């Protein structure tokens, strides 16, 4: 099934290849040929401010996104890791948002965060390979430590299109083999 997709896709190599190598601005132009991965302006169940945590209080990204350097997925923190602090930090500005965190913890229900960055099912993106090669989170996700609630900045976030992946792979001499990214 996956292989069939790739075989069918090979027909489009020429066109895509041209678009992908347009250059630094490639990710803009690639849009027409390769539909973007979704960067949804989703509404989150709790207004979680990245700037407060990763900026003001300088909590390391990987304290929460704990599996970025050893797994394909960066990981979203379970409600238990929020409670490490919010058992004692009620929140001075938005205590009602922190109260929702406590409610989920007490009820034993996970917070239903909505996914923002997602590549299509036929694409493989391994966080560990990038993080271990020294590519900063910010190179791909922007200055998250300065961002408030992510949904409000998601539209400005970089689209995850093939031309963008390829431009950097060319620059950094990483693989451009179709099969490393496509199933
Ligand atoms: C290492 C400690 C720490 C962890 C872990 C932590 N927080 Fe916080 N959080 C804080 C601090 C400190 C504030 C700022 C509180 C203040 O200024 O009164 C805050 C603020 C907040 C706020 C805004 C409330 C306000 O009044 O500013 C929300 C919502 C929130 N946190 C949710 C979460 C969620 C959800 C998690 C887990 C994914 C989490 N926090 C994990 C320390 C933490
Ligand atoms: C205190 C915990 C905490 C810290 C520290 C933290 N994050 Fe997050 N992050 C979260 C939570 C909770 C979510 C899910 C809610 C949301 O999307 O805002 C999230 C979502 C994200 C997403 C979007 C995921 C998706 O749905 O596609 C990205 C990207 C991200 N964080 C990057 C970072 C980066 C980069 C840093 C460091 C500069 C960082 N985070 C620091 C808790 C944290
Ligand atoms: C080379 C670009 C790149 C780098 C570097 C990168 N990411 Fe990502 N990130 C992505 C892409 C692409 C996705 C969507 C992946 C998917 O759908 O499988 C994503 C998805 C995510 C998500 C969504 C949930 C998950 O579990 O994957 C979080 C959270 C996240 N990244 C956080 C981080 C953090 C924190 C760092 C730094 C430690 C980081 N990313 C480094 C490109 C990157
Ligand atoms: C900012 C630069 C950058 C961007 C953007 C980037 N990558 Fe990479 N990628 C790298 C580097 C550097 C490596 C090599 C890591 C190594 O040598 O272990 C790599 C390695 C990989 C690998 C492993 C290749 C192998 O040889 O096994 C895959 C798969 C991959 N990237 C997929 C993607 C996808 C999919 C995207 C876009 C959604 C993307 N990358 C965007 C820099 C980037
Ligand atoms: C560095 C990673 C990477 C490499 C190498 C790569 N691609 Fe892609 N490709 C992507 C990403 C990311 C997308 C956008 C997927 C999406 O829409 O979410 C994509 C999209 C596509 C699409 C459009 C599919 C659609 O969703 O309509 C085709 C066709 C395609 N790639 C074929 C190829 C072929 C053929 C090669 C080899 C010449 C190749 N790709 C190499 C990452 C890569």
Residues 132 and 144 in one domain: yes
Residues 54 and 133 in one domain: yes
Distance of CA 63 to the CA centre of its chain: 16
Please tell me the pTM assigned to this model: 0.89
Average of per-residue pLDDT values in the chain = 79
Least confident of 40-54, 79-93, 98-112: 40-54
Supply the pLDDT for residue 119: 87
Supply the pLDDT for residue 154: 52
Residues 119 and 153 in one domain: yes
Lining ligand 3 with CB less than 6 A are 61-62, 65, 68, 73-76, 117-119, 125, 127, 130-131, 135, 137, 139-141, 160
Residues 119 and 150 in one domain: yes
Residues 86 and 100 in one domain: yes
Residues 6 and 30 in one domain: yes
DSSP category for residue 158: P
* CB distance 169 to ligand 4 below 6 Å: yes
Contact of 164 with 27, CB cutoff 8 Å: yes
* CB distance 12 to ligand 5 below 6 Å: yes
What is the dihedral angle through the alpha carbons of 135, 141, 147, 148, rounded to the nearest 10 degrees?
A: -130
Supply the pLDDT for residue 57: 97
Supply the pLDDT for residue 39: 40
Residues 32 and 92 in one domain: no
Supply the pLDDT for residue 151: 66
Residues 52 and 140 in one domain: yes
Residues 171 and 93 in one domain: no
CA distances from 30 to 5, 27, 117 (A): 19, 5, 18
Non-local (6+) Cβ contacts of 131 within 8 A are: 68, 69, 137
Residues 8 and 27 in one domain: yes
Residues 67 and 146 in one domain: yes
Average pLDDT over residues 166-180: 96
Contact of 83 with 101, CB cutoff 8 Å: yes
Structural domain range at position 167: 1-36+161-183
* CB distance 172 to ligand 4 below 6 Å: yes
CA distances from 83 to 62, 95, 127, 130, 148 (A): 17, 14, 26, 30, 20
How far is ligand 2, taken at its centre, from the CA of residue 172, in Å? 26
* CB distance 100 to ligand 5 below 6 Å: no
Residues 104 and 49 in one domain: no
Supply the pLDDT for residue 136: 95
Average pLDDT over residues 166-170: 95
Domain count within the chain: 3
């Amino acid at each position: 099934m996956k292989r069939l997709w790739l075989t069918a896709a090979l027909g489009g190599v020429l066109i895509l290849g041209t678009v992908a190598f347009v250059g630094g601005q490639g990710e803009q132009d690639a849009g027409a040929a390769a539909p973007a991965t979704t960067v949804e302006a989703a509404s989150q169940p709790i207004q979680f401010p990245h700037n407060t945590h990763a900026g003001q209080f300088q909590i390391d990204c990987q304290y929460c996104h704990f599996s970025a350097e050893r797994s394909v997925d960066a990981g979203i923190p379970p409600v238990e890791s929020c409670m490490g602090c919010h058992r004692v930090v009620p929140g001075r500005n938005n205590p009602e948002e922190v109260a929702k965190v406590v409610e989920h913890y007490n009820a034993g229900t996970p917070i239903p965060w909505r996914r923002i960055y997602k590549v299509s099912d036929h694409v493989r993106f391994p966080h560990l390979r990038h993080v271990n090669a020294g590519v900063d989170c910010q190179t791909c996700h922007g200055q998250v430590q300065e961002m408030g609630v992510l949904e409000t900045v998601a539209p400005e976030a970089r689209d995850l299109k093939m031309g963008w992946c390829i431009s950097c792979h060319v620059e950094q001499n990483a693989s451009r083999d179709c099969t490393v990214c496509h199933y």
